[in-house]
């Protein structure tokens, strides 16, 4: 839809300055879709917060409420912009556009802060190997939410700081929906890479006897020592059938 807007303004309307002021599809593909996509992505993060906080509903519920408000404000902004029909008039819709941009930024900052706090709390209770994975997750969550929140703040500054040029808010808001989807895909891809990194690592288990008293404990120590079972998975990749035959070839020992 943004490509259709670009063709409408810069290709089919080349040289026509009046067409640059036409909203065309911009009223729907920017505030409406950005609000809906932001709601979906932020709801996913609220779901993760819900389980990290051991099914505590208050904090994710408040963040989801803010996300719902920004989505509703985006829908109102889209309807009003379509009714106005001119980009130069969108500065008249101060309240819905401000609520849309501020709500998105507040929800993103809250998600980054709460998730970072929850993961840091869990990192102190985990093993050293798991701590590195949690650190990577924290860095990724803070970076992705900081990007989307920063774009919303930039759009808000342009909207309030340069009211005589209301079309300046179009470029940053046009990429917000794409940033949300790409940040979510980045989170999913990071989970896949973490699974590959952990594949092949050793898993150790200890089988310890139950505690007993007196002579039974002494006889148990001599007759049933502690057993340690080490399980390790090894993934082998062959580039050609020749390497596979070389791998299967029996090795003789002198």
Where residue 200 falls (left for φ over 0; alpha for ψ -120 to 50; beta otherwise) is: left
Q: Give the tens place of pLDDT for each residue, 113-132.
A: 998 888 888 777 766 767 77
Distance, in Å, from the CA atom of 249 to the CA atom of 245, rounded to the nearest integer, reads: 6
CB atoms within 10 A of CB 174: 19
Matching residue, tokens 């809250």? 110
Q: Is 232 exposed, middle or buried (0-12, 13-18, 19+ CB in 10 A)?
A: exposed
Q: Say if residues 5 and 19 touch (Cβ distance below 8 Å).
A: no
Q: How confident is the model at residue 199 (pLDDT cuts 50, 70, 90)?
A: very low
pLDDT at 68: 96
Q: Give the tens place of pLDDT for each residue, 15-60.
A: 777 777 777 777 788 888 899 999 999 999 999 899 888 778 899 9
Distance, in Å, from the CA atom of 162 to the CA atom of 154, rounded to the nearest integer, reads: 12
Pairing of strands 203-207, 227-231: antiparallel
Q: How confident is the model at residue 205 (pLDDT cuts 50, 70, 90)?
A: very low
Matching residue, tokens 């924290």? 138
Maximal CA-CA distance, the chain: 99
pLDDT at 206: 41
Cα 237 to chain center, whole Å? 31
pLDDT higher for 220 or 171? Answer: 171
């Amino acid at each position: 839809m943004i490509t259709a807007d670009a063709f409408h303004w810069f290709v089919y309307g080349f040289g026509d300055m009046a067409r640059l002021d036409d909203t065309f599809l911009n009223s729907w593909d920017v505030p409406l879709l950005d609000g809906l996509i932001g709601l979906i992505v932020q709801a996913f993060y609220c779901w993760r917060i819900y389980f990290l906080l051991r099914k505590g509903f208050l904090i994710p519920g408040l963040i989801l409420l803010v996300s719902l408000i920004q989505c509703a404000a985006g829908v109102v902004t889209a309807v009003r912009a379509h009714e106005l029909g001119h980009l130069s008039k969108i500065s008249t819709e101060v309240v819905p556009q401000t609520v849309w941009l501020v709500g998105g930024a507040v929800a993103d900052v809250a998600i980054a802060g709460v998730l970072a706090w929850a993961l840091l709390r869990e990192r102190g209770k985990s093993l050293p190997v798991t701590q590195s994975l949690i650190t990577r997750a924290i860095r990724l969550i803070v970076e992705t939410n900081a990007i989307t929140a920063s774009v919303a703040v930039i759009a808000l500054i342009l909207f309030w700081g340069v009211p005589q040029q209301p079309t300046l808010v179009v470029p940053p808001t046009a990429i917000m929906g794409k940033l949300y989807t790409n940040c979510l895909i980045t989170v999913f891809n990071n989970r896949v890479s973490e699974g590959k990194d952990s594949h092949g690592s050793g898993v150790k288990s200890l089988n310890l006897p139950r505690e007993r008293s007196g002579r039974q404990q002494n006889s148990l120590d001599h007759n049933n020592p502690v057993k340690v079972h080490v399980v390790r998975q090894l993934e082998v990749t062959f580039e050609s059938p020749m390497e596979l035959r070389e791998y299967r070839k029996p090795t003789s020992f002198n």
